[in-house]
Structure 1
Amino acid sequence: MNFSERCWFFLLFSLFSAAAEADAISSLKNFMQNTRTFRAEFTQTVLDRNGRVVQNGGGTMQFERPGKFRWVYEKPYEQLIVGDGDRIWFYDHDLDQVTVRKLDVAIGSTPAALLAGSSDIEKSFDLSDLGLQGDTEWLEATPKARESTFEWVRLGFTRGGVLKAMELHDNFGQTTVLGFSRLEKNPRLAPESFKFSPPEGTDVISD
């Protein structure tokens, strides 16, 4: 799996909002049951195993469950990731290259399963409530599949039930931290957002 795909998996566990009175696990389950579409902006910081910043970035995202999503990286480089319900398209503008993967293979037991997949999240993840730390409720999700690309993901919710922060620790020792803003729950999204056609002359690599 290349760097672009790893970044996508790290980010595909992004935004969750839920009931104010619930703990973090209940908030996540509420989100899965009641959120069909979602849109937000994100910032991303990648830390190496020593806690040093190796990359800063950000962009916008939107999804429509099940299996449709669109991620636009605006920095540090332009990249587009589109899930059309059957396949996932990774378009690297600078490399003029597209990688195509089957949705069921690419999602598997990854953060994407929590974002755009089945509401039965405990089938693929072990969930644990880490309790209140400061003013944030923390949840940890550990994938049950051994072939997962990450070790754990932690989600921090405000006491109002809105996702405040996410930390993902991958198998390479890196930690990806995301922050979210301008969250919209169940907005009307254009169907064209989840369609992609490779630009003419682009190098296409598929499974």
Structure 2
Amino acid sequence: MTFGKYALIFAPVALVMPMPGSAQSGSAKMDRVVAHMQSVGTMTSTFTQTDRRGSTLSGKLLLKRPGHIRFEYQKGVPLLIVGDGKALTMVDYEVRQVQRWPIRNSPLAALLDPGQDLRRYGKLVATSTDDVISVEVRDPKRPEFGVITMVFVRQAGAPGGLTLNGWVALDSKNNRTSIRLDNVKYNGNVPNSAFTWKDPRPVRRKS
């Protein structure tokens, strides 16, 4: 496959319950994150992706809960990533390859399912200010699934008083990829047709 530097963002990770008491002191912060997640139906933004070498790509992001997301990369990057409610599809138009896997096996499940209660499945990560809340999702029993950390920033007028600033993914080999969101807008009209894609694979004719 040719998805190397892109696949890290979506490497599988399982949601698991943290050890008892691990997030008790931050219950109010987690409540704010849950309130935000439950208040967001759609989101649009631009994004900047940075890999472990410092290389960056940019593009546009569309999200519609439950289960729909679209990463459209900048001009010249022949890659499209779409979640249609059931599966995530990564399409490489340059080499005409398509890869699919269930959303539930992706770290994006925590982002795409508003009913996913992070009070049970997430773990707060300490930050230097109360204006920033980080939530980490990992499966310690399956380190090959990696780690995903979502970063929320306090913002008046945003759903639940927070806005999603981005996330960081770390694979089992400590390869790090970050996504930074800008120009974030919530709960506008995003049609289901935005989450379709054109299959680049040649059509096989029946003999």
Counterpart residue number, 1:107: 104
Counterpart residue number, 1:28: 33
Moved beyond 4 Å, runs of 4+: none
Q: How does 1:102-181 map to 2 (within 5 A)?
A: 103=102, 106-108=103-105, 110-122=106-118, 125-131=121-127, 133=128, 136-144=131-139, 146-147=141-142, 149-158=145-154, 160=156, 161-181=162-182
The alignment-based identity, stated in percent, is: 19
Are 1:67 and 1:116, in contact at CA under 8 Å, matched by a contact in 2? yes
Deviations 1:58-105 (A, max 9, x none): 21111111111111122672211111123322111221211233x2xx
Counterpart residue number, 1:18: none
- Whole-angstrom distance in 1 between the partners of 2:203 and 2:126: 45
Q: Give the 3-state SS of the residue equivalent to 1:111 in structure 2.
A: coil
- Give structure 1 stretches of 5+ with no counterpart: 11-21
2:71 equivalent to 1:71: yes
TM-score by length of 2: 0.72
* Deviation of 1:33 (Å): 0.8
Counterpart of 1:29 in structure 2: which amino acid?
Answer: V
- Whole-angstrom distance in 2 between the partners of 1:77 and 1:124: 38
For the structure 1 residues 24 and 176, does the alpha-carbon distance in structure 2 shift closer, same or farther, using more than 3 Å as the test? Answer: farther
Larger proportion of strand: 1
Counterpart of 1:146 in structure 2: which amino acid?
Answer: K
TM-score by length of 1: 0.72
Counterpart of 2:69 in structure 1: which amino acid?
Answer: F
Q: Give the 3-state SS of the residue equivalent to 2:197 in structure 1.
A: coil
What root-mean-square deviation, in Å, do the aligned CA atoms of Structure 1 and Structure 2 show? 3.1
For the structure 1 residues 128 and 135, does the alpha-carbon distance in structure 2 shift closer, same or farther, using more than 3 Å as the test? Answer: closer
Q: Give the 3-state SS of the residue equivalent to 1:184 in structure 2.
A: strand
Counterpart residue number, 2:23: none
Q: How does 1:53-68 map to 2 (within 5 A)?
A: 53=54, 55-68=55-68
2:193 equivalent to 1:192: yes
* Deviation of 1:46 (Å): 1.2
* Deviation of 1:140 (Å): 3.1
- Whole-angstrom distance in 2 between the partners of 1:40 and 1:34: 17
Aligned length: 182
